[in-house]
Amino acid sequence: MCGIAGFFDGNADFTANREKYENILQKMQQSILHRGPDEQGIYLGKRAGLAHTRLSIIDLKDGSQPMSRRRGKNSYQIVYNGEIYNAGELRKMLQQKGWRFQTTSDTEVILLAFLEYGPEFVIRLNGIFAFAILDERHDTLYLYRDSFGIKPLFYTQQNGMVLFGSEPKAILSYPGVKAQLDEKGLCELLGMGPARIPGSGLYHGFSEVKPGCYLTVNRYGLQNRQYWRLSSHPHEDDYDTTIAKTRQMLVDVIERQMVSDVPICTFLSGGVDSSVVSAVCAAKLRRQGKQLVTYSFDFTGNQKYFKANSFQPSQDRPYVDKMVEYLGSEHHYLECDYQTQADLLYDSVEAHDMPCMADVDSSLVYFCQLVGRQHKVVLTGECADEVFGGYPWFHRAEFLQSGTFPWTPDLAPRKMLLLDEVRESLPMDAFVQEMYDRSVREVTILPGEDEIETNRRQIGYLNIRYFMQTLLNRMDRTSMHSGLEARVPFADRTLVDYIFNVPWEMKAKDGLVKNVLRQASRGLLPDEILFRRKSPYPKSYDPYYETLLGTRLQQEIEDSKAPILQIVDRKKVQKFIDSTKDYGKPWYGQLMAGPQMLAYLLQINYWLKTYSVELI
């Protein structure tokens, strides 16, 4: 993986002041150096500047970027972040058409495919990616993002110029760009956060290329084009065929994503999702005479304070032990202490350039730091619940009929700490409802579906477009913060498109959650793991952590200049700090309960202060 950044103006000549703009490119590049510490490069042309930081994984010697190719007298440039899993097949197709390759990198495959097939070539790519292609013949810049937004790509327009980057910090490095938050952004931060609206960059004037889309930018303006969308269509396979096809796709997808010129590893939680990924990887490596390396995460002393609830019924460690023995992997048990978890809340803000999933994020920042010291590539079990229907909101009537985002069923916990004037003037309820209604309108309903099946299709779509995106953002930022590339096989486009249309009577046959995944994975791992009840990413239960957060937040709000006091009421926050927290009633997803609200407020305050965010 890598980091990309740059700027474009169809009426400019940046080469007339080369030193100035090369210095700007280098500043943008340095801001995202963590995404690619192995090699850096910049390119400056008349209309555009491109910057790249590289994490070397494929073609370690010749894959440098920006990469340039000529067609006749015309020059084309690319900066790319991602991995193309069908690069080998595309390479053969292009060679048959007469193209000659100078490297073995997938970067060159992308650029030559663009030259051969034109801008719509992107639908041919199977992978995770965000890249920019500069067509100097037509003075046009193209910005592409993968189908599910696994790789980030932000942009903004300023005085006729388009600025872009893998992270907002690259854009904020450009002279004159300010960090501002308007009413819409505040509604998103407080009403939907840590989720983000597809295409939103949170900051005023910032956007993100939507998943499955690309932008065309030239002197005539900016145009968004959608090359792929999740579609509804009748499922025509019978049950046995569905299971067989799913298994075939699973194994193929996971094995494809093992492509690398450096050793891979996996995250192993002991749940079905990460265990399936690890099992397929271990089997393939075993055939090559190699041993899989696996990592699991927990919190120091968590076994003492763990509290089972409907969202988190069991601890992971006993199941991790069983899988390690089954796989024969070289396993590493990683633990995070509560001081570190709290300290890294601010690092996770800097990884995202905005508040995020509080300690769910900060702990993963820490774990990825440790893994990143030994590996550059990891495969994860992320996204299986969104795709196969693993969350409670797929099953329980109160979620199915809620008429809003099921992972945020009630805005009351979010509004109770606000200043009265902010709560009364900010249209949070209307904003969230409009985002929900707008998203639901995107779902195509099939004529034969009843109301419950329709609700499940809508929730499935919302999960993929919103909740899954939050987790993908978390995985990318926390891993790339330490130069670690995370791959997510369950977010494969072909697999998701197929499973999205499998009827619920198959997905939850005989009441078994994620039935299709479990049945398709029979024989890959022990039944005890395969049919284990879902338990999400571990969270902390030690009361010391809650006390630590409360003390830190209290210290922040005692400062009358604390920027968060523009939003929250000090007395209400103090009362909340002093109250007993309910760990079993999350205000977002399954993991963010009372202590995470404290952590989220700390992150908001730090973000407003450190980034000098102006409320407008």
Active-site amino acid positions: 2
Both structure tokens of 247: 């298994």
- C-alpha distance across the termini of the chain, in Å: 35
Other beta carbons within 10 angstroms of residue 400's beta carbon come to 18
Backbone angles phi, psi at 297, to 5 degrees: -125, 145
Q: Are 106 and 83 in contact (CB under 8 A)?
A: yes
Strand partners, 330: 293
Q: Are 184 and 616 in contact (CB under 8 A)?
A: no
Q: Are 200 and 192 in contact (CB under 8 A)?
A: no
C-alpha 474/C-alpha 472 separation (Å) is 5
CA distances from 241 to 251, 359, 516, 520 (A): 16, 42, 11, 10
What's the farthest any 2 CA atoms get from each other in the chain? 71
Tell me which amino acid residue 74 is.
N
State whether the Cα torsion 282-288-289-290 is positive or negative.
negative
Backbone angles phi, psi at 298, to 5 degrees: -160, 180
Residues with Cβ within 8 Å of 107's Cβ and at least 6 positions away in sequence, in order, are: 63, 65, 67, 78, 80
- Exposed e or buried b for every residue in 414-427, given b needs 16+ CB within 10 A? beebbbeebbeebe
Both structure tokens of 509: 């046959």
Indicate the angle between helix axes 345-352 and 358-372, nearest 10 degrees.
80
C-alpha 250/C-alpha 489 separation (Å) is 8
Nearest to 418 by CA among 408, 429, 434, 407: 429
Q: Which H or E run includes 575? A: helix 570-578
Nearest to 404 by CA among 356, 337, 459: 459
* Residue found by looking up tokens 């999960």 in the block: 463
* Residue found by looking up tokens 């010749």 in the block: 62
Q: In 106-263, where do the E strands start and end?
A: 127-135, 140-145, 154-158, 161-165, 180-181, 206-208, 213-218, 221-226
Q: Which H or E run includes 577? A: helix 570-578
Other beta carbons within 10 angstroms of residue 297's beta carbon come to 23
Q: Which H or E run includes 29? A: helix 18-31
State whether the Cα torsion 105-147-345-28 is positive or negative.
positive
Residues with Cβ within 8 Å of 250's Cβ and at least 6 positions away in sequence, in order, are: 276, 280, 489, 495, 517, 520, 521
Q: Are 85 and 255 in contact (CB under 8 A)?
A: no
